[in-house]
Amino acid sequence: MLSRVASHLYWLSRYLERAENMARILDVGQSLALLSGRPGDERSVIEPLIITDTLDAFRATRAAATPENVARFLAWDAGHPSSIANCLEACRENARAVRGSITSEMWESINDTWLQLQSKRRAGGQTVDAQFFDWVKERSHLFRGITFATIRRDQPYHFIRLGTHIERADNTARILSVKQAAGSGAEADVVPPAVDSGPLGVAAAFDPGAVLAAQMPDAQAAAESQAQDDIATYYSLSAVLRSVSAFEAYRDTYRDAVDARRVAELLIFNPQLPRSLRFCLDEIESLLRQLPPESGRPAMRLAATLQARLAYGDLAEVYAYGLYNFLERFLRDNVRLGEAVRAAYLELK
């Protein structure tokens, strides 16, 4: 296959997956902001920007950091290359360039998505409601199903699937990394109240009842603070799971309360969850073995190394290394893997 054709197919799928991931992040973020009762929390407002590494780009627009402005920037902004609208247009342009390498049903699905996007832009403006995000996800699912049902299992199919799983692994790691950083910061801010005799003076040292009475407000405040932290942790972990459609999978696997370590274990090591890091690397490693090996050895070697790290690793090793550090290293390695794939198959030689 020509490298030009492979490049269009690879980026077609990456842009479509990126649009779906963006819709997932925004949809879940908006829903949980309402459920948590903390819509004014600045951290929750800018969190989608942190996940997608676009905080600086948003601030350059000088728009106020409100949920609606953030969602409109990530969904519709013409100057943001990875906005949902730009991703869907880039997907359509890549598909148009290689119409002969995909089935007619695949092209019709992508082109119809683009036409509907233009209709939404003209009719309702730049909507950022749950209905729009559901539409983006449904169009991505539709194209994936049509691809699976209609295209031959040869190189075009392999490059489409390769782009999907590299992009998906990046998204899962980013979500988990940012949520982990947020959780660590929240825990670090919780300081047990110090025992301070304060206004009770010296007499308090000799009056146990007075000491207990003085400590009761502090104990009550600590309990309330802990309860708020528990609620915030629950919503944060729920956001992680719902962003990757894994909430039901978590319940089926653990049948217990949402726990940070189990969420990490599920999204990193579970080989059956379609958006876990392990599942994505299993697919990437398998797909690369089905491509011409002559020029792809560096990419195959790196993919095999990352896959083995997940296949034979465990959560204890991850926490010993540091979960946040592990995820940041994975993100860097995933970028290196994408660059190795580009150098091996997508560049003109």
Tokens at residue 312, please? 């034979």
Q: Which residues contact 218 (CB under 8 A, 6 or more apart)?
A: 193, 195
The DSSP secondary-structure symbol of 194 reads P
Cα gap 345→171, rounded to integer Å: 23
Residue 288, phi then psi, degrees to nearest 5:
-65, -30
The DSSP secondary-structure symbol of 192 reads P
186-216 tens-digit pLDDT? 333 333 333 333 433 433 334 545 544 555 5
Of the chain, the percentage scoring pLDDT greater than 70 comes to 81
Please name the amino acid found at residue 145: G
Residue 219's pLDDT is 64
239-291 tens-digit pLDDT? 889 899 999 999 999 988 889 999 999 999 999 999 999 999 999 999 999 99
Between residues 261 and 38, which one has the greater pLDDT? 261
Provide mean pLDDT across the span 218-246: 73
Instruction: Look at 77-86, 180-189, 231-240 and tell me which has the smallest mean pLDDT.
Output: 180-189
Please tell me the chain's helix, strand, coil percentages from 3-state DSSP, rounded to the nearest 5.
Answer: 80, 0, 20
Element (H, E) at 233: helix 208-243
Between residues 255 and 15, which one has the greater pLDDT? 15
* Domain segments of the chain as ranges: 1-151, 156-190+200-349
pTM: 0.85
CA–centroid distance for 309 within its chain: 21
Residue 123's pLDDT is 76
277-336 tens-digit pLDDT? 999 999 999 999 999 888 889 999 999 999 999 999 999 999 999 999 999 999 999 999
